[in-house]
Amino acid sequence: KLRAAHRRGARLCSICSGVFVLAAAGVLDGLTVTTHWRYAEKLQARYPALRVNPDALYVDEGQIVTSAGSAAGLDMLLHLVRRDHGGAIANRVAQRLVLPPHRDGGQAQFVPRPVAPGGSDRLP
């Protein structure tokens, strides 16, 4: 059904490991995709026809858009709102969700430097 929907022009999106479903449906061959960094090697090994970018928050290939982990799914959705409805609407949605208005899809999935240790792990 995913292939038929894609052939009819439906936009297909995945968040995190959902990219495995799209890959199994055969709609991603030859495309650049992303997933959570922990699954990137497994995805590439299982589906060698894909170009897996393990560093991107999301990858927009037109009618196929894939994102990294769950939080990156919000970045992807804001990107789609921006693409379809413009920056002003996307900024309003981001404000409502208390999110930064735009994190570029090419931004690294995680910051390599750990957070500085505090005095305690307990909340005040």
Residue 55 included in any domain: yes
Residue 119 included in any domain: no
The overall average pLDDT reported for the chain is 90
Residue 56 included in any domain: yes
Residue 49 included in any domain: yes
Query: Quick one: pLDDT at residue 5?
Result: 95
- What CATH number is associated with residue 56? 3.40.50.880
Coil, helix or strand at residue 12:
strand
C-alpha 113 chain-centroid distance: 22
pTM: 0.83
Residue span of the structural domain in which 38 resides: 2-69
Residue 114 included in any domain: no
Q: How many domains does the chain have?
A: 1
Residue 103 included in any domain: no
Q: What is the pLDDT of residues 4-50, one digit of tens each?
A: 999 999 999 999 999 999 999 999 999 999 999 999 999 999 999 99
If you search the block for the tokens 């981001």, which residue do you land on?
94
